[in-house]
Amino acid sequence: MTIRAIPDFWWLSESQAKQGWLVGVGHHAPLTDDDEPSRTRPNQQAPAISGWFHSLDDVGKLSHDFKRHSPNVLAEWRSVCGNTNVYRTLTLWPEQSQVEPLQGPFLVDIDSRDWTNGYSENLEDARRVAVLAVELLTSRWPLAEGRDFRVFFSGRKGFNIEVRPDLLGIGGSLDQQIRASADRLEVLGELAKRNSASTVIDRIYGNRFGYGLKHPYIRLYNSWNKWSSDCQAKKRLRLQLSAADLKAQPIESLCSRAENGEV
């Protein structure tokens, strides 16, 4: 299977897809509403996260040891983990040392979350900010939906927008890619600040006070997001949406689709 046949790597250019790449994977148990995100930035070259599984041992059991894999391992990883809470690294490492690592896609992670008085979320507000973010991206760059960018309901706290990095002028060394991504995201971050009290656009690339992937993993396509809330297990699919559905469908409808796995 070629790498571009794997949906998670749709954003690669034709020339990039011809290279050999390695990827890291991750899986965790269902989180609870009380679980706050870690404030510790993982090692950028071997991003192992405490409590996560990152590989299979010699007898096929889940292991906490971080390893780099062929992209074709994603199908096996989905199967072993029940296609639930499964991830890959945003960074791809080259098989050949003379090739620069890649970071992608350019990711806009929009979450509505508030721990002020216990965990709460406002998905309707997150949807509204996601609509504004799509409008801003497509007004600044000539992006075609499907070919150049894609939109997802993350399944729990909000929405993701994935964009081909090369179309935003993101390239160079891995450090240059991350810095350029942070610059592009800064514009969208201000959008959330101006238009919402409870929704944030996560600064996953860091900022001028410290660049680097804050959370180096992205949830796999059409995988289940499972968590526990009020002692009840819940799950929704990471659901790809059209920009029209994002704008027109009420959040209750999107949640129902994700809960029923209606891709």
User: How high is the pLDDT of residue 36?
Assistant: 59
pLDDT band at 112 (very low <50, low <70, confident <90, very high): confident
Nearest to 19 by CA among 75, 71, 90: 71
| Residue partners of 196: CB distance under 8 A and separation at least 6 | 112, 125, 128, 129
User: How high is the pLDDT of residue 114?
Assistant: 59
User: How high is the pLDDT of residue 152?
Assistant: 97
Q: What's the whole-model pTM score?
A: 0.93
Q: What is the pLDDT of residues 49-59, one digit of tens each?
A: 999 999 999 99
Q: Which domains does the chain have, with CATH numbers?
A: 16-259 (3.90.920)
Q: What is the pLDDT of residues 148-180, one digit of tens each?
A: 999 999 988 899 999 999 999 999 999 999 999
Q: What is the pLDDT of residues 173-223, one digit of tens each?
A: 999 999 999 999 988 877 777 766 678 899 999 887 789 998 899 999 999
pLDDT band at 230 (very low <50, low <70, confident <90, very high): confident
In DSSP terms, which residues pair with 162 in a beta bridge?
Answer: 107, 150
User: How high is the pLDDT of residue 157?
Assistant: 86
Average pLDDT, the chain: 90
User: How high is the pLDDT of residue 197?
Assistant: 67
User: Which has more pLDDT, 37 or 23?
Assistant: 23
